[in-house]
C-alpha cells in the first residue's frame, strides 16, 4: 500500500486493522489512484529530465551554429566591402559615365566621367539628375528615365552637343519585388564619329576618283567591241569582252560604295514624283530576261488585273530595287538539275502595291535571315558557292524602299527558294 495512504488511515482509525471492512474497496481504489498518480509523475519527471538534457544539447548546438554563422557573415561582409571598393574603383576608372538611379528616381551613384559629361562637381548627388536633363536638353531624357525605372531599356544615339557626340543607354533593372531603378551609361563617341566620318569621306573621294578611269575603260572597250577600229579575231574579242565585264562589275561596286557613303552621310533622299510601278517593273524584266535565259531560267510574270495606281518614288532608284532583286533571284537560283522558274507579280490593295519576286533557288539559312539587310552581309551558303557578291545590294535596296515610305521583307527556306516582297504606299491625292 502507498505509504502516504497508510499514514492517513493509521491517523484516522488508530491502526490499519481498525479500518472498517466496508471501506476496504474504497481504500483499494484510492490506493490504486495513488500508485497510478505516482507512476505518471515519475514518467513526467523522466521526460522532463530528457527534454532538459536535449535542450542543453540543442542550445549548445545552436551556439556553435551561431558562431559559425557570425564568422561567415563577417567574412562575407569583408569580401563584399572589398568587392564594393573594387567595383567603385572600376566605375571611377572606366571612360563610360555611369549614373545609378533608384526606383524612387533618386541618384545613388555617379562616377567621375558622368560628372564630367554633365559638368557636375559636387561631393553629393543632389541636383545631378536635373543637370543630366539640362545638359542634353534637346532630348527627352527625363521621359526615358521615367520609363526605364519600370525595367525597360532604351538608348539614344547620335546626340550632338558642342561638336561632341554621345550615346546614352538607359538600362532598367528589376529586383525581387519589381522595378529596382536604372543605370544610365553615357558614352562619348566623338572619336569614333570623327573616324567614321573620315572613313566615309575617304571612300566617297576614292569612289569618285575611280569613276573617271572606269568610264573611260567602259567607253573604250565598247568602241573596240563595236569594231569601230577594225574587225576583231575571236581571241581579241574574248579578252576585250572579259575586260568590259570586269569593268562593269567595278562600276557596279563603285556605285554601291557611293550609295553607302550617301546613306551614312544622311544624304540618301530623293525627289519623289509620280511613278507607274508596273512600267518600271516590266522594263526591268525585259532587260533581265536574256540574262535569265542564258542561265536556263524562265521568268514568269503575272501582270496586274487592272491598271495599278501610281506611287511617289524616284524612277531610277525604283528600277535599281527591282534590278537587284531579280538579279539576286537569277544568281541564287539552282539551275544544275533542271530549268528554274522565277515568278514575279504585282498586286494592288487598298493602300499599297505589293510586288513579289519568288525563286526556286538556294534559299537563305535561318541563322542568316535576321542579318540579311546589314551592310556586307552574305549568307553562308551564298558565300560558299557564289564568290562574286558584295552583300551591299539589299542594304541599299532597303534604304531606297524606306525612302519611298515602303517596306521590304522576305520569306525563305534553304534549298527550296525565297520570296522577296516590296510594299509601296499608294499616295492618294485629295
Ligand atoms: P550580294 O548578292 O552581292 O551578295 P545582296 O546584298 O544583294 O548582296 O544580298 C545579300 C545576301 O543575301 C546574298 O549574299 C545572299 O546570301 C542573300 N540573298 C539575297 N537574295 C537572295 C535570294 N534570292 N536567294 C538566296 N539568297 C539571297
| CB 83 within 8 Å of CB 76 | no
Q: Which residues of 138-164 are buried (b: 16+ CB within 10 A; e: fewer)?
A: eeebeebbebbbebeebeeeebeeeee
**Of 91, 112, 143, which residue constitutes the final position of a domain?**
91
The string of DSSP codes covering 373-422 is TSTT---HHHHHH-----S-HHHHHHHHHHHTT-EEEEEEETTTEEEEEE
Return the ∠ at Cα 329 (arms to 325 and 332), rounded to 5°.
130
> Using alpha carbons only, how large is the chain's radius of gyration in Å?
44
Q: Report residue 88 CA to chain centroid gap.
A: 28
> Rounded to an integer, what distance in angstroms lies between the CA atom of residue 152 and that of residue 160?
24
The verdict on residue 244 lying in a domain is yes
Contacts of range 204-212, beta carbons closer than 8 Å, 24 or more positions apart: 204/257, 204/258, 204/261, 204/265, 206/257, 207/254, 207/257, 207/258, 207/261, 208/258, 210/250, 210/254, 211/251, 211/254
> What is the chain's pLDDT, residue by residue, as a tens digit (430 residues)?
888 888 888 888 888 888 888 888 888 888 888 888 888 888 888 877 877 888 888 889 989 999 999 999 999 999 988 888 888 788 778 889 999 999 899 999 999 999 999 999 998 999 999 999 999 999 999 999 999 988 889 999 889 888 899 999 999 988 777 778 899 999 999 999 899 888 888 888 888 899 899 999 999 999 999 998 999 999 999 999 999 999 999 999 999 999 998 898 888 888 899 999 999 999 999 999 999 999 999 999 989 988 899 999 999 999 999 999 999 999 999 766 688 999 999 999 889 999 999 999 999 999 999 999 999 999 999 988 887 888 999 999 999 999 999 999 999 999 999 999 999 999 776 4
Same domain, 307 and 421: yes
Say how many Å lie between the CA of residue 410 and the centre of ligand 1.
Answer: 11
The pLDDT value given to residue 418? 97
Same domain, 85 and 172: no
How many CB atoms lie under 10 A from the CB of residue 137?
Answer: 11
**Of 237, 264, 291, which residue constitutes the final position of a domain?**
264
Task: Give the HSE-up count for residue 192: Cα atoms under 13 Å, Cβ half-sphere.
Answer: 8
| Distance linking the first and last C-alpha atoms of the chain | 121
The verdict on residue 110 lying in a domain is yes
Cβ neighbourhood burial of 40 (10 Å; 0-12, 13-18, 19+): exposed
Q: What is the DSSP letter of 337?
A: S
By alpha-carbon position, which residue is closest to atom 21 of ligand 1? 328
The verdict on residue 242 lying in a domain is yes
The pLDDT value given to residue 430? 45
Same domain, 17 and 141: no
- Which are the contacts of 112, defined by CB distance < 8 A and separation ≥ 6? 92
> Rounded to an integer, what distance in angstroms lies between the CA atom of residue 65 and that of residue 76?
16
**Of 133, 162, 188, which residue constitutes the final position of a domain?**
188
Say how many Å lie between the CA of residue 401 and the centre of ligand 1.
Answer: 17
Same domain, 27 and 147: no
Torsions phi, psi for 120 (to 5 deg): -125, 115
State the residue range of the domain holding 74: 1-91
The verdict on residue 430 lying in a domain is no
> Rounded to an integer, what distance in angstroms lies between the CA atom of residue 411 and that of residue 398?
15
Same domain, 81 and 30: yes
Same domain, 59 and 114: no
Same domain, 87 and 98: no
The verdict on residue 75 lying in a domain is yes
Residues with CB under 6 A from ligand 1: 324, 328-329, 332, 359, 361-364, 372, 378-379, 382, 389-395, 418
The verdict on residue 394 lying in a domain is yes
* CATH number of the domain that residue 142 is part of: 3.30.450.20
- Among 383, 394, 409, say which to mutate for ligand 1: greatest number of ligand atoms within 8 Å of CB: 394
Same domain, 100 and 238: no
The pLDDT value given to residue 337? 67
By alpha-carbon position, which residue is closest to atom 3 of ligand 1? 389
Query: What is the number of residues in the chain?
Result: 430
The pLDDT value given to residue 3? 84
Write down the H helix ranges in 226-275: 234-264
Return the ∠ at Cα 372 (arms to 289 and 366), rounded to 5°.
100
Q: Which residues pair with 20 in a beta bridge?
A: none
Same domain, 184 and 203: no
Closest CA relative to residue 406, chosen from 344, 342, 301, 321: 321
Say how many Å lie between the CA of residue 398 and the centre of ligand 1.
Answer: 13
Same domain, 23 and 159: no
Q: Which residue has the cell 527627352?
A: 140
Q: Report residue 319 CA to chain centroid gap.
A: 33
Please give the number of the atom of ligand 1 that sits closest to the Cα of 395.
Answer: 6
How many domains does the chain fold into? 4
The verdict on residue 220 lying in a domain is yes
Say how many Å lie between the CA of residue 360 and the centre of ligand 1.
Answer: 14
Same domain, 216 and 170: no
The verdict on residue 181 lying in a domain is yes
Please give the number of the atom of ligand 1 that sits closest to the Cα of 368.
Answer: 16
Closest CA relative to residue 410, chosen from 359, 375, 376: 359
Q: Could you give the angle at which helices 190-225 and 234-264 cross, rounded to 10 degrees?
A: 150
> Rounded to an integer, what distance in angstroms lies between the CA atom of residue 274 and that of residue 401?
15
Same domain, 39 and 141: no
Say how many Å lie between the CA of residue 312 and the centre of ligand 1.
Answer: 27
Amino acid at each position: 500500500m502507498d505509504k502516504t495512504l497508510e499514514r492517513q488511515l493509521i491517523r484516522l482509525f488508530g491502526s490499519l486493522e481498525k479500518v472498517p471492512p466496508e471501506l476496504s474497496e474504497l481504500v483499494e481504489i484510492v490506493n490504486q489512484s495513488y500508485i497510478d498518480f505516482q507512476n505518471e509523475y515519475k514518467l513526467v519527471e523522466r521526460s522532463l529530465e530528457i527534454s532538459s538534457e536535449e535542450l542543453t544539447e540543442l542550445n549548445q548546438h545552436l551556439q556553435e551554429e551561431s558562431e559559425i554563422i557570425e564568422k561567415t557573415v563577417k567574412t562575407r561582409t569583408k569580401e563584399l566591402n572589398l568587392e564594393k571598393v573594387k567595383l567603385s574603383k572600376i566605375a571611377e576608372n572606366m571612360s563610360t559615365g555611369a549614373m545609378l538611379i533608384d526606383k524612387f528616381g533618386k541618384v545613388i551613384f555617379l562616377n567621375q566621367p558622368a560628372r564630367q559629361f554633365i559638368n557636375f562637381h559636387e561631393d553629393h548627388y543632389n541636383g545631378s539628375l536635373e543637370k543630366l536633363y539640362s545638359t542634353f536638353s534637346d532630348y527627352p531624357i527625363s521621359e526615358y528615365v521615367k520609363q526605364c525605372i519600370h525595367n525597360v531599356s532604351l538608348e539614344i544615339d547620335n546626340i550632338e552637343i558642342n561638336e561632341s557626340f554621345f550615346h546614352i543607354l538607359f538600362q532598367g533593372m528589376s529586383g525581387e519585388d519589381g522595378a529596382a531603378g536604372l543605370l544610365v551609361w553615357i558614352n562619348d563617341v566623338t572619336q569614333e564619329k570623327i573616324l567614321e566620318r573620315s572613313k566615309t569621306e575617304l571612300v566617297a573621294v576614292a569612289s569618285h576618283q575611280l569613276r573617271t578611269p572606269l568610264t573611260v575603260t567602259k567607253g573604250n572597250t565598247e568602241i573596240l567591241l563595236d569594231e569601230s577600229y577594225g574587225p576583231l579575231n575571236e581571241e581579241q574579242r574574248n579578252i576585250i569582252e572579259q575586260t568590259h565585264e570586269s569593268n562593269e562589275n567595278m562600276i557596279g561596286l563603285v556605285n554601291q560604295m557611293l550609295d553607302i557613303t550617301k546613306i551614312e552621310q544622311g544624304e540618301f533622299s530623293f525627289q519623289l514624283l509620280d511613278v507607274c510601278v508596273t512600267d518600271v517593273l516590266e522594263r526591268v524584266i525585259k532587260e533581265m530576261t536574256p540574262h535569265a535565259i542564258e542561265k536556263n531560267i524562265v521568268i514568269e510574270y503575272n501582270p496586274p488585273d487592272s491598271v495599278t495606281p501610281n506611287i511617289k518614288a524616284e524612277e531610277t532608284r525604283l528600277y535599281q530595287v527591282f534590278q537587284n532583286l531579280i538579279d539576286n533571284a537569277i544568281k541564287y537560283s539552282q539551275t544544275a538539275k533542271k530549268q528554274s522558274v522565277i515568278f514575279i507579280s504585282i498586286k494592288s490593295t487598298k493602300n499599297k502595291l505589293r510586288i513579289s519576286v519568288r525563286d526556286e533557288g538556294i534559299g537563305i539559312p535561318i541563322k542568316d535571315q535576321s542579318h540579311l539587310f546589314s551592310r556586307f552581309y552574305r549568307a553562308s551558303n551564298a558565300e560558299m558557292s557564289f564568290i562574286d557578291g558584295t552583300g551591299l545590294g539589299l542594304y541599299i535596296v532597303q534604304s531606297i524602299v524606306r525612302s519611298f515610305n515602303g517596306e521590304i521583307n522576305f520569306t525563305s527556306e534553304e534549298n527550296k527558294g525565297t520570296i522577296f516582297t516590296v510594299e509601296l504606299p499608294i499616295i492618294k491625292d485629295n
